[in-house]
């Protein structure tokens, strides 16, 4: 399934040039990469239907997970548009059919959409009694909890923050080429806050990351879920569930090996 989804990922961004520079180690705060990770990204990279729908959500979140999110009517409309955009893709439709075939998801697309809204966009508390977190924010944007980084596995946000001078790329530990996309494991320095190890999957569309994470969250929760890239390269997705107020949400999901 995962290999076919990568092959069919028509909204993946082709032509990104990365400057990997030097390898480093987990826990090293030394900057082994003086230049940015992203050398060039095509001008139309973010014009696709699902990436543009995801970008519309970026300003809806406060990156401090100890701040209660204020969800407006406009933001609810944007959430709906994002879910509709990803569900319209072949990638997500195949993932849905796979889950239905395994008895892990409702065959009714409207019911499945509401389930995705719950596990990815539903607000929950990571501590301190504040409903200031969600699966989508944690995974695709990253959060701050005092002087620590939580999540942050989205390449689009990484690129934006690097352009804005907010992300310092320090070098990498592992790079896995999956065909068009590649998984990079590395330390990161975001707004001066250091995280000893994190990972992003560069070039893939929002729907493929969300589809693979959802499949793994349902089929192999709280474990490494074995996958294949478009070229057959083995890798994995690690997911974590988070229970809050009687519901089970995506606590975290990220590519690994």
Give the residue numbers marked as catalytic: 138, 153, 195
Rounded CA-CA distance 180/149 in Å is: 28
Burial class (CB within 10 angstroms; exposed 0-12, middle 13-18, buried 19+) of 224? middle
Burial class (CB within 10 angstroms; exposed 0-12, middle 13-18, buried 19+) of 29? exposed
Rounded CA-CA distance 233/229 in Å is: 5
Query: Helices 90-101 & 206-219, crossing angle to 10 degrees?
Result: 10
Burial class (CB within 10 angstroms; exposed 0-12, middle 13-18, buried 19+) of 58? middle
């Amino acid at each position: 399934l995962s290999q076919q989804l990568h092959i069919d990922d028509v909204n993946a961004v082709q032509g990104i040039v990365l400057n990997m520079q030097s390898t480093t180690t987990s826990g090293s705060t030394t900057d082994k990469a003086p230049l940015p990770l992203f050398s060039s990204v095509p001008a139309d990279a973010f014009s696709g239907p699902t990436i543009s729908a995801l970008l519309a959500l970026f300003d809806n979140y406060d990156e401090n997970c100890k701040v209660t999110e204020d969800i407006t009517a406009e933001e609810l409309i944007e959430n709906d548009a994002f879910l509709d955009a990803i569900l319209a893709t072949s990638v997500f439709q195949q993932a849905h059919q796979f889950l239905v075939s395994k008895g892990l998801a409702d065959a009714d697309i409207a019911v499945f959409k509401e389930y995705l809204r719950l596990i990815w966009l539903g607000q929950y508390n990571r501590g301190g009694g504040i409903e200031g977190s969600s699966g989508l924010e944690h995974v695709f944007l990253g959060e701050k909890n005092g002087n620590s980084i939580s999540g942050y596995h989205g390449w689009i946000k990484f690129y934006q923050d690097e352009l804005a001078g907010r992300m310092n790329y320090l070098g990498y530990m592992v790079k896995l080429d999956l065909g068009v996309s590649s998984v990079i494991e590395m330390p990161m320095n975001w707004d001066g806050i250091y995280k000893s190890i994190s990972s992003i999957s560069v070039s893939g569309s929002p729907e493929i990351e969300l589809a693979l994470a959802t499949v793994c969250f349902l089929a192999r929760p709280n474990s490494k879920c074995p996958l294949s890239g478009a070229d057959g390269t083995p890798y994995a997705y690690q997911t974590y569930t988070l229970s809050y107020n009687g519901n089970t949400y995506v606590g975290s999901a990220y590519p690994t090996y």
